[in-house]
Amino acid sequence: MTTPAMPYRRLGHAGLKVSALSFGSWVTFGGQVDTGLAKDCLQAAADAGVNFFDNAESYAGGQSETIMGKAIAELGWKRHTYSVSTKLFWGINGDLVNMRHTLNRKYLMQAIDGSLERFGLDFVDLVFCHRPDPDTPIEETVWAMSDMISSGKALYWGTSEWSAAEIRAAWDIADRRNLHKPVMEQPQYNLMHRERVENEYARLYDDIGLGLTVWSPMANGILSGKYLNGIPEGSRAALPENKGLRDRVTDPDTNAKVAQLVEVANRLEVTAAQLALAWCMANPRVSTVITGASSVNQVHENAGSLVALERIDDQVKAELDAIFA
Q: Which residues are catalytic?
A: 59
By C-alpha distance, which of 94, 88, 194, 203 is closest to 141? 88
- DSSP string computed for 250-282: T-HHHHHHHHHHHHHHHHHTS-HHHHHHHHHHT
Provide the 3-class DSSP secondary structure of residue 155: strand
CA distance 55 to 72: 13
Query: What is the CB neighbour count within 10 angstroms for residue 20?
Result: 23
CA distance 67 to 223: 28
CA distance 242 to 248: 10
- Assess contact for 148 and 117: CB atoms under 8 A: no
> How many residues are recorded in the chain?
325
CA dihedral angle for residue 162, residue 183, residue 48, residue 316, rounded to 10 degrees: 60
Please state whether beta strands 184-185 and 211-214 pair in parallel, antiparallel, or not at all (unpaired): parallel
